[in-house]
Amino acid sequence: MRALQAIGDDLEALDALLGAVGGDVTEADARAAVDAWFAELGPESTEAVDRAVAWMRDLEVRAAAKRAAVLEYEQNARAEERRAEMVKGRLLDFVKRRGGRFRTTLHPLRIQRNSTRALTLLVDPEALPEEFRDEETVYTARKDEIRKQLEAGAELPFAVLEEPGFHLRIG
């Protein structure tokens, strides 16, 4: 039975190797290292398997936390962009009231006319004459209907039903 420290060291090395290839287990060296580690495990390797499960769960938790952080950063960025636009609008109004120019010790401010005129549509794009709109068609598969047809015995050249796969249940 291997010492827990050795098992932990192995998993840290595997984690570092996978991190170096961006988690791409199709990378031959990374795949071989992970496969070799699992091939060494015998039926008495409960500690190693427990550590591997803990490592997997840790990776899942870290990934979920990073996804949540990305979402939070995006929301914060949008909020800051809206605040910046609000301040920019207030500065525009402030400078307009002072004749279109204002100088501070750091920033000379002046009002300048935009080079293009803003366009505001008064109707939905669907109501525009055809020469003024682009039509975009998006297709999605009706998987429930396809599955129903295949299960009823229909042969469809564009889809097949695969055998159910497997997943790991822990606990």
3-46 pLDDT per residue, tens = 656 767 777 777 776 777 676 666 677 777 777 777 777 777 77
Are the C-beta atoms of residues 146 and 156 closer than 8 Å to each other?
yes
Residue 67: pLDDT band (50, 70, 90) is very high
Does the residue 147 lie in any domain?
A: no
Does the residue 142 lie in any domain?
A: no
pLDDT for the residue 68: 97
Average pLDDT over residues 44-60: 83
Does the residue 78 lie in any domain?
A: no
Least confident of 12-16, 127-131, 146-150, 153-157: 12-16
Does the residue 26 lie in any domain?
A: yes
Q: How far is CA 151 from CA 23, 58, 113, 141, 158, in A?
A: 37, 39, 65, 16, 14
**Would you say residue 160 has pLDDT above 80?**
yes
**Would you say residue 171 has pLDDT above 80?**
no
Does the residue 156 lie in any domain?
A: no
**Would you say residue 60 has pLDDT above 60?**
yes
Does the residue 34 lie in any domain?
A: yes
Contacts of residue 13, defined as CB under 8 A and 6 or more positions apart, other chains included, come to 33
Domain extent, residue 37, equals 4-71
Rounded Cα distance between 133 and 2, Å, is 69
Q: Tell me the residue type at 24.
A: D
Least confident of 6-15, 105-114, 130-139, 149-158: 6-15
pLDDT for the residue 24: 64
Least confident of 50-54, 98-102, 130-134: 50-54
**Would you say residue 65 has pLDDT above 80?**
yes
**Would you say residue 1 has pLDDT above 50?**
no
pTM: 0.56
**The total number of structural domains that make up the chain:** 1
Rounded Cα distance between 85 and 116, Å, is 19
